[in-house]
Structure 1
Amino acid sequence: MPTKITLVIDNPSDVAAFESDYTEIAALAHTLPGLRRLESAKVWPKEDGTPTPAHRTLDLYFDSYDDASAAVTTPEAGQLFQRLGGTGTTFMGLFSDIEES
């Protein structure tokens, strides 16, 4: 079954600096072995000006759970997570089965 890893990236303290770094982060994500598709999204700001629940999401698509699990153990993933963590912005990752309808 196709699997995706969703990285939910919290609101950075310095948005401009994070966005400058994000170009490299997305490029590193493209190097993950077995990656079939990458989808990057920026969370819309709230109309009332309150903080959003997250700043960005990064969806990484793989053919299977095994492929996704193997990809996150590679040096490429190590570089990606080190670079993302180096921004000082917290994030969480979710593995999901993709249900086609």
Structure 2
Amino acid sequence: MGVMDGLATDIGFFAYWMLGLDEGLRWQMIDEASSKVHKIDVLGMDEVDEMQCFKVRVKELLHGRVNRVRQFWIAADKRIVIKEETDLSSGETVYRDAVSCP
């Protein structure tokens, strides 16, 4: 599977931190080995294709600078990623809509 960071979302639809989501949650994960810091904020609830989802912003900092900002819509009942938007430091935005995946 390769090396995964604590977010474990680069290759899949689930990460352990999704189990603890609650409205208003703010959390920070520090990976001393890679110097990455992930700041996780639950922005509220949203609906995607008739599913209630937590809308979560994850800021990834590398050596104190924002490397990328990701927004996840995570199903409140199943705790899996339904939709994702990633803003890269290059200015590019990458979208993933798991609801429409086969």
> Under a length normalisation based on structure 2, what TM-score does the superposition of the two structures give?
0.30
Q: Higher helix share goes to which structure?
A: 1
Higher relative contact order (CA 8 A, sep 6+): 1
- TM-score (normalizing by structure 1): 0.31
More strand by share: 2
